[in-house]
Structure 1
């Protein structure tokens, strides 16, 4: 498969994965995904208090109570019908729309003071569509508005995961029997991985790979911190802070990022798009 067809393949694989019963069940979780998400929201909360909020990739509604604690002027969107239906069921008084982040044309320019795209949702689309999402978010944000987005780390421990990577021979018959049993149980993971690896692709500062989540059923973008900052700058944002998922610390350029699975970026809409990266 050539690189031009990768985004379509990603879209199909991810939409199918997120509509499964297992995926819908997983999206029922409550609370913060990790300390980094909590730190990013805590940073913007005082300024965003009472402002209109757009919550992208709402899933089953995990972030509804987290963000409505900041503002009751709240709108949520997701492109998976099963998750939109579940979110509406769980939060019937909230405005939850079936919408793709690549097309936010239902919203006027400068309609929101804060936009949040959590749980690495932006990683589910190809590079060109990723840039489209960022431009759409910039358009619907007020000048000076804030944006929180998370993305997988290409230099982190999750990059390049493969099924059965743990499998090793052991002379102990009980241990070996247990490993073989687990390997048999993992066969769906292997099938998904082999099917999706045709979509693997490397670009400047980012890569497309099959991820272990949802039984290796999803294909996502992994980006370096520098690349994500560049993408934000190109689409009219200034990056104000980056937080690590593992311990919520604020990251700086040049430090060792090999233990960070994904990043949480806090960015601000600039008065006008940047002319360069």
Structure 2
């Protein structure tokens, strides 16, 4: 099995875990200030338009998207999480679908297509391009795409298992509780890290690396601003705005280094880009 299919297999196992179900079912609205800022930027521009929500998990983004428009379709490739979303939002159009192949959906149709919570980072580089090409295809000319992606230069890149150790305190009761709580996480996290780290590789503009989430149970892509802007241009999308996840600031085009954990990219499909394939 090659490293690309192994990355996909590892992440699919994580999304079907009880830890993923627990995390995705937390009572949460916006994932971070950057996502809030990105939705505010798009709200008036996409009001009333058909919306496509990719990687919905258990449905966190459904209320956020339907506040913009009631014409809504949500998709996810993990049936377990999708079933939870359907139970929470039984009247919504929610479909089992992989973002790399959304051929069941119409071309040039949606006013906004979004992929939240860095979901696009969980496939290899070539499949990442396929997802962006599919987002380009289904969005209407003049319509927008929104997605988030981990920062190659941010604090999340290079996380290691030592952070799973309990934080020291002089209070013996708290220290004992923290030690007990972290014992299982450290054991599982170490096993996952050692097993998954073989896929780590730095390609310059982007890197593949095991991530701390889900007890180091996922392997993801980290990108630079320059590389992601180049990739958007490659598939025909024009980048409009990038927001910093940490504080929600707009990152200007002349900025390259950033200490954000991840970025929220907004791009649009040019009006003259209607495809007839």
**Would you say how many aligned residue pairs link Structure 1 and Structure 2?**
268
Q: Which runs of 4+ in 1 moved over 4 A?
A: 165-168, 174-183
Aligned: 1:217 with 2:217: yes
Q: Aligned runs of 1:242-253 on 2, under 5 Å? A: 242-252=242-252, 253=254
- Closer, same or farther in 2 for the Cα pair 1:183/1:85, shift >3 Å? closer
1:40 pairs with one of 38, 41, 46: 38
2:107 alignment partner in structure 1:
109
Map of 2:22 onto structure 1:
25
CA distance in 1, matches of 2:245, 2:4: 26
CA distance in 1, matches of 2:69, 2:124: 32
Post-superposition offset of 1:166:
6.8
Residue pair 1:164, 1:183 contacting (<8 A) in 2 also:
no
* Deviating more after overlay: 140-149 vs 158-167: 158-167
Q: 1:98 to 1:165 in 2, by over 3 A?
A: same
* TM-score under structure 2 length normalisation: 0.90
C-alpha distance in structure 2 between counterparts of 1:177 and 1:66, whole Å: 40
The C-alpha deviation readout for 1:171-227, integer Å capped at 9, x for no partner, is: x9x699788656633110000000001111222400000100001000000000111
- For 1:199, the equivalent position in structure 2 comes to 199
Question: Is this contact kept in 1: 2:100–2:130, CA < 8 A?
Answer: yes
Is 1:208 paired with 2:208? yes
Taking the TM superposition and a 5 Å limit, the aligned residue runs for 1:40-189 are 40-165=38-163, 184-185=183-184, 186-189=186-189
Deviation, structure 1 residue 167: 5.3
Distance 1:25 1:180, change over 3 A: closer
Gaps of 5+ in 2: none
Pair 1:12 & 2:13 matched: no
The RMSD of aligned alpha carbons is: 2.3
Matched, 1:227 2:238: no
Q: Which runs of 5+ in 1 are unaligned?
A: none
Separation in structure 1 between the aligned mates of residue 265 and residue 160 of structure 2, nearest angstrom: 27
